């Protein structure tokens, strides 16, 4: 059985506990991953501590050159990485490449890190006084990541954290840990010093060790909301800075004037791509007006029935299996629950099997109509290939639905009316908004982050928000007296008045 070990200075740490890495296409176990503890983390932290001061003192242009070389190496290894990712996660190869590419775009941002690290300077803030600020790395940072983007999310965090001069310890999802290990190997190959980017594996025990470790100054987390909240509270209680992104239930509002063919295209991709296992998926569609709802439903049904579900290596497949049998059971449980709650089950994806892959974790595409806001299946995240139609009589009701939902990650509006779109974007109580864009994941030099239970903490991922999270501002007020008497001691707070 293939064994996946920590990637830390000093090599294999051995392990008393292991977790199974499943094969989503066929069922069964394909590898086992070491589940580490405080002792493993201590080794990683000691190596990080030894390496970080020199890395921070390395000029930012040289750090950026490591990013350039890392980008080249990832591009050269793209096919191998995508196959590895697809085999453990279950997303199709083209989508796996997208996962890696979106992470690489953050690395491209990091290639320009010298520019963004320039501080602020005021000459003559007072008589003979200059003020300047600098951004210094936090020291040692950690990233705890979910299974659904095993390349992109580690690079969101680890790219920026290391580019600004930190040592970074990644604790990826134990469900698809191979790509994160490969990325840490490629960082070393790209010229990053040992100890600056390390990967430790584990479950709650390792997460708690990270949250309690006195030498780790910042923790970035992405995962489900209850755990995000827990990580945020425990990390902050221990004096760390923490950003913790959680779950989502993104709505797509469809106005009566929208181009419905385009909407159906966008929706099928955004609701079912990656088997719905994206925090920016669109699992709820809100047509405005009965006529829009009926027309949309009529177009959606054949589009959904035409979707091809296949193994993750099938180049023709629109999406592959979900990540584990437990997750398949959970998604199918939500389908049963939504039907029990009184929604109309229009297309039922339960019981889907693929010939030759009967034990794979496949769920067929599922469509519900007449879903209402009191249903648990509407309130909670399903994280599977399930699309729910919630009908709204008018724009104000449609605006209210995502605004009042417990999650506030992303939202989209489909319309040809610029005024409606502008009004919606300004008023909706959600962090990321798409206007005729179904999955409004911001580009790398902007920042990613939701609102409400989709994110705890106050800084977003990557872009300038990421730079702020991984650095501390130091501000220097400097005076160089010319030797003439300055009026003696001051016993009141100095002002510029």
For ligand NAD, the closer CB: 60 or 223:
223
For ligand NAD, the closer CB: 163 or 227:
227
Tell me: does residue 188 bind ligand NAD (CB under 6 A): no
Least distance to ligand NAD from the beta carbon of 38, Å? 14
Phi first, then psi, for residue 479 (nearest 5°) are -130, 130
Tell me: does residue 227 bind ligand NAD (CB under 6 A): yes
For ligand NAD, the closer CB: 204 or 359:
204
* Cβ-contact 184, 156 below 8 angstroms: no
Least distance to ligand NAD from the beta carbon of 174, Å? 5
Tell me: does residue 245 bind ligand NAD (CB under 6 A): yes
For ligand NAD, the closer CB: 149 or 368:
149
What are the Cα distances from residue 305, in Å, to 181, 268, 271, 298? 38, 10, 14, 12
* Active site amino acids: 279
Structure tokens at 87: 């085999």
* Cβ-contact 146, 223 below 8 angstroms: yes
Near ligand NAD by CB under 6 A, which window of 11-19, 216-224, 283-291, 370-378? Answer: 216-224
Task: Return all residues near 235 (Cβ < 8 A) that are at least 6 apart.
Answer: 211, 219, 221, 241, 242, 244
Least distance to ligand NAD from the beta carbon of 274, Å? 11
Near ligand NAD by CB under 6 A, which window of 15-23, 201-209, 362-370, 472-480? Answer: 201-209
Closest CA to 210 of 353, 372, 37: 37
Structure tokens at 423: 């009004």
Tell me: does residue 103 bind ligand NAD (CB under 6 A): no
| Among 15, 148, 250, 268, contact with ligand NAD (rule: CB under 6 A) | 148
Q: Binding string to ligand NAD for residues 401 to 420, with x set by CB under 6 A, is what? A: --------x-----------
Cα separation, 144 vs 201, in Å, equals: 10
| Among 165, 223, 283, 365, contact with ligand NAD (rule: CB under 6 A) | 223
Tell me: does residue 248 bind ligand NAD (CB under 6 A): yes
* Cβ-contact 374, 417 below 8 angstroms: no
Least distance to ligand NAD from the beta carbon of 377, Å? 15
Tell me: does residue 204 bind ligand NAD (CB under 6 A): yes
For ligand NAD, the closer CB: 33 or 111:
33
**Do the strands 284-287 and 251-254 form a parallel or antiparallel pair, or are they unpaired?**
parallel
Q: Partners of 376 in the beta sheet? A: none
- State the Cα angle at 158 between 206 and 76, rounded to 5°: 120
Rg of the chain over CA atoms, in angstroms? 25
Cα separation, 183 vs 73, in Å, equals: 10
Structure tokens at 101: 């590419």
Residue least distant from ligand NAD (Cβ): 223
Orientation of helix 418-427 relative to helix 395-404, angle to 10°: 30
| Among 286, 381, 413, 421, contact with ligand NAD (rule: CB under 6 A) | 381
Near ligand NAD by CB under 6 A, which window of 70-78, 190-198, 221-229, 362-370? Answer: 221-229
Closest CA to 88 of 31, 133, 136: 31
Tell me: does residue 145 bind ligand NAD (CB under 6 A): yes
| Among 242, 279, 304, 354, contact with ligand NAD (rule: CB under 6 A) | 279
Least distance to ligand NAD from the beta carbon of 282, Å? 13
Cα separation, 98 vs 313, in Å, equals: 15
* Cβ-contact 144, 244 below 8 angstroms: no
Structure tokens at 427: 């008023």
Helix (H, G, I), strand (E, B) or coil at 16: coil
* Cβ-contact 432, 442 below 8 angstroms: yes
For ligand NAD, the closer CB: 137 or 402:
402
Q: Binding string to ligand NAD for residues 332 to 351, with x set by CB under 6 A, is what? A: --------------------
Tell me: does residue 459 bind ligand NAD (CB under 6 A): no
Tell me: does residue 88 bind ligand NAD (CB under 6 A): no
Q: How far apart are the first and last CA of the chain?
A: 73
Near ligand NAD by CB under 6 A, which window of 105-113, 202-210, 260-268, 395-403? Answer: 202-210
Residues that bind ligand NAD (CB under 6 A): 144-149, 171, 173-174, 203-204, 207, 222-224, 227, 245-248, 279, 381, 383, 409, 450, 454
């Amino acid at each position: 059985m293939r064994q996946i070990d920590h990637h830390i200075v000093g090599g294999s740490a051995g392990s008393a506990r292991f977790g199974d890495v499943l094969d989503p296409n066929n069922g069964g176990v394909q590898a086992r991953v070491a589940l580490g503890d405080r002792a493993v983390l201590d080794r990683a932290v000691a190596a990080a501590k030894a390496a970080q001061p020199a890395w921070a003192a390395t000029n930012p242009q040289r750090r950026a050159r490591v990013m350039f070389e890392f980008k080249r190496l990832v591009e050269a290894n793209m096919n191998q990485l995508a196959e590895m990712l697809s085999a453990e996660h279950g997303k199709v190869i083209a989508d796996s490449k997208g996962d890696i590419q979106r992470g690489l775009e953050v690395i491209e941002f990091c290639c320009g890190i010298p520019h963004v690290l320039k501080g602020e300077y005021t000459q003559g803030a007072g008589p003979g006084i200059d003020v300047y600020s600098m951004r210094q790395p936090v020291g040692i940072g950690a990233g705890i990541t979910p299974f659904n983007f095993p390349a992109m999310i580690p690079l969101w965090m680890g790219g920026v954290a290391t580019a600004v001069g930190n040592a970074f310890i990644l604790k990826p999802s134990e469900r698809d840990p191979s790509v994160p290990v490969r990325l840490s190997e490629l960082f070393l190959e790209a010229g990053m010093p040992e100890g600056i980017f390390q990967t430790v594996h584990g479950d709650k025990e390792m997460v708690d060790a990270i949250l309690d470790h006195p030498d780790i100054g910042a923790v970035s987390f992405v995962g489900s909301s209850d755990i995000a909240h827990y990580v945020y509270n425990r990390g902050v209680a221990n004096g760390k800075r923490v950003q913790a992104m959680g779950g989502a239930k993104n709505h797509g509002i469809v106005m009566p004037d929208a181009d419905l063919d385009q909407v159906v295209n966008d929706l099928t991709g955004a609701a079912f791509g990656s088997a719905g296992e994206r925090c920016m998926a669109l699992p709820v569609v809100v047509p405005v007006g009965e006529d829009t709802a009926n027309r949309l439903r009529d177009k959606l049904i054949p589009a959904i029935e035409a979707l091809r579900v296949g193994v993750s290596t099938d180049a023709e497949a629109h999406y592959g299996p979900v990540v584990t049998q437990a997750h398949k059971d959970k998604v199918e449980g939500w389908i049963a629950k939504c039907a029990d709650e009184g929604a109309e089950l229009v297309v039922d994806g339960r019981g889907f099997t693929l010939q030759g892959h009967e034990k794979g974790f496949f769920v067929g595409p599922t469509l519900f109509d007449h879903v209402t806001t009191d249903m648990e299946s509407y309130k909670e995240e399903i994280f599977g290939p399930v699309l729910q139609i919630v009908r709204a009589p008018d724009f104000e009701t449609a605006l209210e639905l995502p605004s009042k939902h417990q999650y506030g990650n992303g939202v989209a509006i489909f319309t040809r009316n610029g005024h409606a779109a502008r009004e919606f974007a300004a008023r909706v109580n959600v962090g990321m908004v798409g206007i005729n864009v179904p999955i409004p994941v911001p580009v790398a030099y902007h920042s990613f982050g939701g609102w409400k239970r989709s994110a705890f903490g106050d800084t977003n991922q990557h872009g300038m928000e990421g730079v702020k999270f991984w650095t501390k501002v130091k501000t220097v007020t400097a005076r160089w007296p010319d030797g003439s008497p300055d009026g003696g001691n001051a016993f009141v707070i100095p002002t510029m008045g």
